[in-house]
Amino acid sequence: MNHVSMRIDGVRYDDDVEPRLLLVHYLREVAGRTGTPVGCDTSNCGACTVLMNGVSVKSCSVLAVQADGAEITTIQGLANGEWHPLQRAFHEEHALQCGYCTPGMIMAAADLLRDNPRPSEQEVRDGLEGNLCRCTGYQNIVRAVLRVAGEMAGEQAGAAS
Amino acid sequence: MIPARFDYVRPGSVEDAVRALAGGGDDARVIAGGQSLLPLLRLRLAFPDLLVDVGGLSELRGVRETAGSLEIGALTTIYELTRDPLLTAHCGLLAETATLIADPAVRHRATIGGALAHADPAGDLPAVVLALGGSLLIRGPEGEREVRAGDFFTDYMTTSLSPGELLVAVRVPRLGGDWGFRYEKFRLTAQSWAIVGVAAVARRSNGHVAEARIGLTNMGSVPVRATAAESAAAGAEASAAALREAGSRADEGTSPPSDLRGSADYRRHLARVLTGRALAAAAGAS
């Protein structure tokens, strides 16, 4: 067993784990963060995407021991009292049907907007290439992300004036 | 699936890593970002007894200039390759190819050293480093050695790394402003592997190609140079037609695989067409 210590959605966790334990299983089964689903389990689908030290990773492709000392944000840590703008936009733009891909899709979108706050439609599509959705055809997902980017730009312009 | 059991150590220095690897022998594997290794562990296609995690060795991260070349630390992530100012300025082929690998979340974890040591014939970076005429710096119990890319890839997912050795850096030449480049990657979906990939660099002089170097992805068990097409391109007019002609020799001497994604003949066709396009783009031909 190896000792790991990490902050998950602002809460510190300390545990002894087997080295082969995947981060996604640590999040779900030890830390109780079941908002992060296991999808394909082969690092294709992106459903398990979380932020690790501020950037997106597929938590099925990280060992829990590799996340020792890291700061992890899951979909459950994104809202701050009220819905995150991406959660609201996904809701209002109908960017989901079954919802299985949504936690990963929103975390990947959060990372995309951190990296590129004013993406074009093509850049949104490229930035979400690692996340599969089998319901929506992506159209409304792209619309939701672009809407949040527009809102953020509007707020910045408002703050500057 | 859950990987089989293994022991895990996280050495604090390159020396400690080499010692741990040497102690583990054939049953030890290096892990950095783990984006190639973890899928193999989960599918139980690999079952090492010991993983030596070098991910924390910050001295192996980043790009620096040396005389006439750039040295890229093995732990530099694919994401960092896409943004590095030295690479963007002097080795655009690497920076551009990096944007075409996998997806953003994978690029954040995956490292250049891992991609090269993994030596998947469908991986993009081996052919790129080969086309660049790069070399690999390897640290082992006996010290450091440098291996040319052409000698590093020895067989399907096999390299000249011995047990106990660690790939620490990649050295690529600085390319001057008269060099152009292009990586043509053919795939059916956004994040999938290349069915065939072509890395080309070309030096242009007086409307002609003075020199070209071409590396092919997934045209054999190891990345290969398209030497016949390189010879045909040298001295050719920098036009799309002339370079399409040179590209038509790209599959000479190759032994591409046949699999669910394409037959060997189809891959030969792709290599010819993509090489023509890559040469034309690298030479700035319209």
Statement to judge: residues B72 and B148 lie in one domain? yes
Q: Which residue of B1, B5, B8, B100 to mutate against A (max A Cβ within 10 Å)? A: B8
CB neighbours of residue B270 within 10 Å: 24
pTM: 0.96
> A95: exposed, middle or buried (C-beta count within 10 Å: 0-12, 13-18, 19+)?
buried
Rounded Cα gap, residues B229 and B202, in angstroms? 12
Instruction: Say if the Cβ atoms of B3 and A115 lie within 8 Å.
Output: no
pLDDT in tens, A54-66: 999 999 999 999 9
The amino acid that residue B107 corresponds to is R
Closest chain B residue by Cα to residue A53: B108
Identify the pLDDT of residue B189.
Answer: 86
3-state secondary structure of B92: helix
* Whether residue B228 has pLDDT greater than 90: yes
Chain B residues within 8 A of A62 when measuring between CB atoms? 34, 38, 109
Q: Which residue has the tokens 């081996």?
A: B126
Chain A residues within 8 A of B10 when measuring between CB atoms? 65, 68
CA atoms within 13 A on the CB side of B204: 19
- CATH number, domain containing residue B5: 3.30.465.10
* Whether residue B66 has pLDDT greater than 70: yes
Which of B34, B42, B109 lies closest to A41 in CB terms? Answer: B42
Tokens, residue B96: 């551009």
Identify the pLDDT of residue A154.
Answer: 83
Which of B1, B79, B109 lies closest to A41 in CB terms? Answer: B1
Statement to judge: residues A93 and A70 lie in one domain? no
* Whether residue B56 has pLDDT greater than 80: yes
Containing structural domain, residue A44: 2-77
Rounded Cα gap, residues B80 and B144, in angstroms? 25
Tokens, residue A92: 């209002």
Confidence tier at A10 by pLDDT (50, 70, 90): very high
Identify the pLDDT of residue A41.
Answer: 79
Rounded Cα gap, residues A47 and A133, in angstroms? 9
Confidence tier at A152 by pLDDT (50, 70, 90): confident
DSSP state of B50: E
Average pLDDT over residues A24-53: 95
3-state secondary structure of B231: helix
What percentage of chain B exceeds 90 in pLDDT?
95
Residue A57, beta-bridge partner list: A50
Average pLDDT over residues B188-206: 93
Statement to judge: residues A63 and A102 lie in one domain? no
Q: Say if CB B172 and CB B94 are below 8 A apart.
A: yes
- The count of structural domains within chain B is 2
Domain end among B152, B175, B198? B175
Tokens, residue A2: 């190896």
Which of B2, B8, B104 lies closest to A127 in CB terms? Answer: B104
Instruction: Say if the Cβ atoms of B105 and A56 lie within 8 Å.
Output: yes
CB neighbours of residue B163 within 10 Å: 15
Could you write out the DSSP letters of every residue in B100-167? Answer: TSS-HHHHHH-BHHHHHHHT-TT-HHHHHHHHTT-EEEEEETTEEEEEEHHHHEEETTEESPPTT-EE
Whether chain B has a CB inside 8 Å of the CB on A112: the answer is yes
* Whether residue A104 has pLDDT greater than 90: yes
Tokens, residue B141: 């119990």
Confidence tier at B32 by pLDDT (50, 70, 90): very high
Statement to judge: residues A71 and A27 lie in one domain? yes
Confidence tier at A161 by pLDDT (50, 70, 90): low
- The count of structural domains within chain A is 2
Confidence tier at A153 by pLDDT (50, 70, 90): confident
Statement to judge: residues B99 and B218 lie in one domain? no
The amino acid that residue B244 corresponds to is R
Q: Say if CB A104 and CB A49 are below 8 A apart.
A: yes
- CATH number, domain containing residue A36: 3.10.20.30
Report the mean per-residue pLDDT for chain B. Answer: 96
Chain B residues within 8 A of A19 when measuring between CB atoms? 6-8, 51
Statement to judge: residues A17 and A66 lie in one domain? yes
ipTM of the complex: 0.95
For residue A158, the distance in angstroms to the closest alpha carbon of chain B comes to 30
Identify the pLDDT of residue A160.
Answer: 65
